[in-house]
Amino acid sequence: MSKVVPHSFFTEFDIDLFKAGKHFRLYDKLGSHLTEVDGVKGTYFAVWAPSAKSVFVVGDFNFWTTGTHELHVRWDGSGIWEGFVPGVDKGTKYKYKIHSHNNDIWTEKADPFARYCEQPPNTASLVWDAPHKWQDSKWMDTREEKNGLDKPYSVYEVHLASWKKKNGWESLSYLEMADQLVDYVEKMGFTHVEFMPVMEYPFDPSWGYQLTGYFAPTSRFGKPEDFKMLVDKFHQRGIGVILDWVPSHFPEDAHGLGFFDGSHLYEHPDRRRGYHPDWKSLIFNYGRNEVRAFLISNAVFWLDQYHVDGLRVDAVASMLYLDYSREDGEWEPNMYGNNENLEAMSFLREMNQEVYASFKGVQTIAEESTAFSGVTKPVHYGGLGFGMKWMMGWMHDTLEFFKKEPIHRSYDLNAITFSMTYAFTENFMLPFSHDEVVYGKKSLLYRMPGDEWQRFANLRLLFGYMFTHPGGNLLFMGGEFGQSTEWNFQESLDWHLTQYDFHSGIQEVIKDLNKLYRTSPALYEKQFSPDGFQWIEYNDRENSVITYIRKGNDPKDDLIVACNFTPVPREDYRVGIPKHTQLKLVFNSDDTKYSGSGMGKKTLKPSKTTWNGHEQSVVMTLPPLAVVVYK
């Protein structure tokens, strides 16, 4: 006889919403939940498996045997199996053993809604709650004011397993990071931290981008409540937390979502739309209502249960195009005969609508590498509804330009100025992410040409140009001190380098640029508007110099920026300015405290000499391979 007591968390309204793909709090219903029924403590289990003829809960409470704990199917066509198991307590390991109507197949699966998982390579789910007394009310109450698009966005991207190691090999725990990582991000002046996926994943070399536990922080670094503590500590220091989120694909691991109930439940049944050839992974069926509800519930879950401030959505381009990474004959056009994935587009719009309607002061950020139009336009204007989009074109053009020897840069100056022709077509974030320092691309430092001094000067110039270009900023860990080797997910960053002046100088540059960005309204108030930028000179090929103005709401906040892309100092370099006023130096990447040469003038007095179309001008000294910023 079954030892499962009939019990349900679902109302008829819940079921109607679920079938319609409109239930966006499924984590409150599906999965395992500690509860009490008729005075008896135990666990309620619920799982979606419409192709099953029977579903059993197996675990260490019944010695992993099938037949003793069969769940009850709901007779409403929802495909949900559920029931209450007395005596099953917190920490119990379990899976679902599913007998399918499809060819009598048996599958044994981890719980898609599990809140905690065994540490890989083990694959069981754990019954868990994650109590935490939040201390971040000040941040949450004012987040809408701090996290808006007219506020600074300087993001430090982190891979938790390799940021820092103890004992030479062991990753820090969530609680250790709540001290060390939070202190470091605050000291460096970043406004936000972004974590590469923290959801449970089986395969370390995937860096977390192939998920099996969508609702569980990885157990590699501690318990779910420990991760809550980490987020809480960041918030107490006034730092926002962004999570990488992967609704684009998932792995075929036997315990995961693939072929879940003996059918293509979560993945699209047509391999032309359900299999990703690059990543050897499965693609969600965005046209299936229950799958959409699963994914949107997952986005909501991290914002709701973990107080997360933003989601950076991975691989959006792969979702938008049916022919993404496919040859002719390997894909099928949509109903209009073109290559857009209409179901994925609809899903992304609905996800963004739900997120922005339900949570104040959050942002969604798209990693989208094509020229797809309207990624950050509101849904009611026909856009996808994201808050920001990674500016991949800028990143590529900028790094290609900087790797050139300076003598050749005059011929390719348009590579560095071209971004301004489209900079305001979307709300762009400028990313130097983990993808730019792996697979033989070299570290940012070693992409720079020249001798040691020039490499570091180029890197300081690169960062100065980045922070004064319109848009938010993202920098992958290690870049902020000039990591010399490519990122290795198995090893710690090379923190010993910071004892050397050139490397500590890069750290000081990032600190000061973050401070400049946070304290200069001209750099963020209109960072997504053409009103916030004005060229002074973009075509001085002879000197390889560009000059421009960044503008805020108040003209007195305006900044004038000059970038010298050659190692030749430009003395007596005249620059037209819009007002007859003295200028004060607020940043110089060639400062001696950064191990620069110390060239440059602290103040500039204007003259009535017409230049660059302005009736007044100043004469600057432009240091070699440097950016100077005046107010």
Active site residues: 314, 367
Amino acid at position 218, single letter: T
Give CA separation, 575 vs 178, 399, 409, 562, in Å. 47, 26, 20, 9
Q: Is residue 429 within 8 Å of 155, Cβ to Cβ?
A: yes
Distance CA(501)–CA(498), nearest Å, equals 7
Q: Is residue 7 within 8 Å of 277, Cβ to Cβ?
A: no
Cis peptide before 202 (omega within 30 of 0): no
Q: Is residue 371 within 8 Å of 421, Cβ to Cβ?
A: no
Both tokens assigned to 182: 């939070």
Angle between helix axes 224-236 and 174-188 (nearest 10 degrees) is 20
DSSP state of 68: S
Distance CA(405)–CA(407), nearest Å, equals 5
Question: β-pairing, 170-171 with 570-577?
Answer: unpaired
Amino acid at position 251, single letter: P
Question: β-pairing, 80-86 with 40-48?
Answer: antiparallel
Residues with Cβ within 8 Å of 520's Cβ and at least 6 positions away in sequence, in order, are 550, 552, 557, 559, 586, 631
Both tokens assigned to 326: 């496919």
Task: Of 478, 453, 455, give the one whose Cα is nearest residue 403.
Answer: 455
Q: Is residue 211 within 8 Å of 123, Cβ to Cβ?
A: no
Number of Cβ within 10 Å of residue 335's Cβ equals 6
Q: Is residue 171 within 8 Å of 489, Cβ to Cβ?
A: no
C-alpha triplet 113, 119, 120: angle, nearest 5°: 100
Q: Is residue 595 within 8 Å of 589, Cβ to Cβ?
A: no
Backbone angles phi and psi of 208, in degrees to 5: 100, 0
Q: Is residue 622 within 8 Å of 569, Cβ to Cβ?
A: yes
C-alpha triplet 279, 283, 285: angle, nearest 5°: 175
